[in-house]
Amino acid sequence: MQNVLTKISGEAKFELLIFLALASIPLVFSGYILFILPQYMLFGLLAVSLSILWGLTGIISFGQAGFFAIGAYAIGIVVKSTFLMNSAILGILLGIIVSAVIAGVVGYFLFSAKVKATYFVLATLALSIIIEQLAKSQKEITGGWNGLFVDRISISFGDLLEYSLFNDIPMYYFTLLLTTIAYALIKFLTTSNFGKILRGIRENEDRILALGYNTSIYKTLIFCVSGALAGFAGSIYGTHAGFVDPSLARVLFSTEVIVWVAIGGRNSIIGSFLGGILVASLANYLNSITPEYWQLIIGIVFIAVVILFKGGLAGGLEEIYHRLKSKNYVSARNP
Amino acid sequence: MELAASVLLDTTLITLTLALAAFGLAIIYGLIGVINMGHGAMLTLGAYFTWAGLQLEIPFVLSVILSGFIVGFIGLLFEHWIIKRFYNSPYETLLLTWAFFLVTTELIKIVFGSDFRTVVNPYPGSIDLGFYKIPTYRTLICVFTAFVILSTGFVFFRTSTGIKIRAMIQNREMASLLGLNISLTYKIIFGFGCFMAGLAGGLVAPMLSVSPYMGDMYLVRSFFVVIVGGIGQILSGTIIGSFVIGGLETIVALFSDQVIAQVAVFFFAIVILRIRPQGIFSEK
Amino acid sequence: MSLLEIHNLSKSFKGLLANDKICMELKLGEARCIIGPNGAGKTTLISMISGHLFQSSGIITFDGKNISNHDLVKRVRLGIGRKFQTPTLFDNLTVYENVELSVIRNNYSNFEKNAKIDETLKLIRLFDEKDVPANTLSHGQRQWLEIGLLIGNNVKLLLLDEPTAGMTTEETIATTKLINNLSGEKNLSIIVIEHDINFVRELGAQITVLHLGKIFAEGNYSTIENNKFVREIYLGAPDVVS
């Protein structure tokens, strides 16, 4: 028990450190990094949305990019078509709700029939392709292949206060604030009883069922949460990037999310979050120095991680930490 | 009457072409239970090798066969080095074959470039049936597909190896008692599936433009062929699945556009996944 | 009043009768052993009670309710818990976390939850092992932990499928005590499938003998032991004799 407590607080300290570091970056740096980092934070959230499925519950989804795209389109379409005061908030809410509802319907449809885990992967793959195709074909709404331009939003609180996110620093802190809130909520979720039951499903679904938990409801709920989180990240991404196009829903983008999480460490929320930030920035960097080879390199790293380091970077660090701490540590997490 | 006949012919062509593309996947999935997410990339590879063969002035048929063997060999190496260690973990094989797709696609882009290539139709022209003309090349492909599926069926049901393989699907331990070398059989099946994918890629190349992502669409459709037809129902399932998926896509496309047709098919496949996960016509 | 009543319960698999019109009653706090040669239909019977299988015909009543059409989860929530033949646990979680997962289904306060977990851990004699992962336990301890999961789940009826399989003699004795304790002090009803005749004798519960899907004999240990036909069917299945 003592061991577990120190471990939890150690992880919490690390998380705090990461978010403090993110908060202090604008004090030290300026320029491009302040523009691009919020985008990577959102990718980090997108990675977290997969990690609560894959690492926590044992379900892989190839459709996270689809939900992300739904969020981005939602804010794009709402901001364009309404003249309401709070169209930005409406857009974000819509992104969350539509993603959650689609995830809920598809999830319940498949989970309640006890569809095999690998089939679920194929269904999410198809879902993502459906979203991409619809984005391409419904030109009047989505702009088709050409995509949609989205203005940077302003958040207004009545007539008194309006907070424009046009400049990089307000946008940075706005994104960071929302990312932190979302992260904290997810963290709370994973440590709650609900999270424990999900871990039970990952470990032994038959047993969890025989203990009287309706596993299909739990799986549907977490898929809903995951979809909502991806949609949320997508909606902020939409206004941050200022542009949405069908490539956001591509299966290839969903794959990138899988790669981030695999490299960061699927069992660790903070690992996945950092995986999203670091691998995406690494990809960006590699793309600038060696545009031909960067995807190849990332593909090869992905294979290495799947074969050799199931726990990803977070798992590796944890292992080292525990080895240093005690030599006869029995790995409870990554046997 | 003539309309009916032409619709029938058209459907046959679509069904068998799709069956050809899905066959390699159906074999690997049905016999050894690996979801080969690299299937699409293997089709693409086959198409590029065939294109390369033609550039080297190797005759078309020989190019296609060579492509099949090269892709089959690549598949064997992939199995031998990586996949064979993960047969008991479906998620890992799924991710690793997907990684194969990523890496292969990038390599194709590096070696061949991203622009479209064309493989000239080696048998242009069409066969005139009086009321309807069918393209010669597509007809040849369909005859070939029927031949491949029937001969695989012969091996499967009429030879002792085939019986052992069928025994293996039922019960691995029992089959090894019958003297079947399981790991070698897995290897051969995986290699054969990849060979078929490479062959199919080469054969469909003249009907499409060759690009690094040409296999993608076939990948997902092939999965749905296998799912709708029923896993393990390699022969009849592949045909039935192709008929349903290809046919549905064609019919819906008649009333709307290609994109909606595809969406409808994928939607249909998700529904099938749920209500008849064992395949649309197969028994439990 | 009986906790469990089974009336004319039958199950056929593709025409093969695995259970043929089984009738049985179990009182609150009663333990019952089901014995019989392989293929007698013991596990089928338990699976129909637990909700892992549905009967072909017949009625199951539990706690006064007709549960014949209830699914697994519903039955568990009424208080029917099952231990599988090979222990199914959360292997990579600690013993404590295993029991916790079973306890938290009831919305206890933190204090109640901890008390319930500790009580369960002590009952199954795994309190000292609570922080080790379940996959490092001995075979016997794993069997206990699975029983612990059922206790933590507040069951009224325990279905135990070969609880002493693979146990050492000492562990078997401890298991006998545990089961008697559960039915005696905790007033749980228990159905045990067992092959180990010594264990059955030690347990001293009423015995139901199944043979070819039918109830063949019922009674206490000495009645069964002296039943000529029971001896005959057991001799026909040598692996059961011990």
In a domain, C45, yes or no: yes
pLDDT tens, chain A, 335 aa long: 445 545 556 788 889 999 999 999 888 888 888 889 999 999 999 999 999 999 999 999 999 999 999 999 998 888 877 666 567 788 899 999 999 999 999 999 999 988 888 889 888 988 988 898 888 888 777 777 777 777 776 666 555 566 677 778 888 999 999 999 999 999 999 999 999 999 999 999 999 999 999 999 999 999 999 999 999 999 999 988 888 888 888 888 888 899 999 999 988 999 999 999 999 898 888 888 877 788 888 888 888 888 888 788 888 888 887 787 765 544 444 44
Chain B residues inside the 8 Å CB shell of A258: 95, 98
Q: Which chains touch A (3 or more CB pairs under 8 A)?
A: B, C
In a domain, A332, yes or no: no
Select the residue of A106, A134, A255 nearest B102 (Cβ to Cβ): A255
Q: What is the pLDDT of residue A31?
A: 83
- How many independent structural domains does chain A possess? 1
In a domain, C15, yes or no: yes
In a domain, A27, yes or no: yes
In a domain, C79, yes or no: no
In a domain, C139, yes or no: no
Determine the Cα angle at A191 with ends A323 and A113, to 5°. Answer: 110
Q: What is the pLDDT of residue A333?
A: 45
Q: Enumerate chain A positions whose Cβ falls within 8 A of a Cβ in B.
A: 60, 106, 109-110, 113, 115-119, 121-123, 125-127, 129-130, 133-134, 136-137, 251, 255, 258, 262, 292-293, 295-296, 298-300, 302-303, 306-307
CA C145 vs CA C87, C119, C140, C217, C219: distances in Å: 9, 13, 9, 32, 30
In a domain, C210, yes or no: yes
pLDDT per residue over B23-41, tens digit each? Answer: 999 999 888 889 899 999 9
Print the domain residue range for C216. Answer: 1-69+192-242
Interchain proximity A296–B262, CB inside 8 Å: no
3-state secondary structure of A216: helix
* Confidence check: pLDDT of C240 > 60: no
pTM over 0.95: no
In a domain, C117, yes or no: no
Which CATH number fits the domain that encloses residue A114? 1.10.3470
In a domain, A331, yes or no: no
Q: What is the pLDDT of residue A156?
A: 60
Determine the Cα angle at B83 with ends B80 and B84, to 5°. Answer: 65
pLDDT per residue over B265-284, tens digit each? Answer: 888 888 888 888 777 766 54
Chain B residues inside the 8 Å CB shell of A302: 95, 99, 102
Q: Which chains touch C (3 or more CB pairs under 8 A)?
A: A
Chain B residues inside the 8 Å CB shell of A125: 220, 223
**Residue C201 token pair:** 């004798």
Q: What is the pLDDT of residue B159?
A: 87
Interchain proximity A119–B277, CB inside 8 Å: yes
Q: What is the pLDDT of residue A278?
A: 93
Q: What is the pLDDT of residue A331?
A: 46
In a domain, A71, yes or no: yes
- How many independent structural domains does chain C possess? 1
> Which residue on chain A is closest to C99 by alpha carbon?
A211
* Confidence check: pLDDT of C241 > 50: no
Interchain proximity C73–A332, CB inside 8 Å: no
In a domain, A239, yes or no: yes
Domains of chain B: 2-275 (1.10.3470)
Select the residue of A110, A123, A306 nearest B92 (Cβ to Cβ): A306
B121: confidence class by pLDDT, cuts 50, 70, 90: confident
Print the domain residue range for A313. Answer: 2-325
Residue C15 burial (CB count, 10 A): 5
Q: Which of A112, A296, A297, A305 to mutate to test the interface with B (most CBs of B within 10 A)?
A: A296
In a domain, A335, yes or no: no
DSSP result, B139-170? HHHHHHHHHHHHHHHHHHHHSHHHHHHHHHHH
In a domain, C57, yes or no: yes
DSSP result, chain C? -EEEEEEEEEEEETTEEEEEEEEEEEETT-EEEEE--TTSSHHHHHHHHHTSS--SEEEEEETTEE-TT--HHHHHHHTEEEE-SS----TTSBHHHHHHHHHTTS---HHHHHHHHHHHHHHTT-GGGTTSBGGGS-HHHHHHHHHHHHHHTT-SEEEEESTTTT--HHHHHHHHHHHHHHHHTS--EEEEE---HHHHHHHT-EEEEEETTEEEEEE-HHHHHT-HHHHHHHHHSGGG--
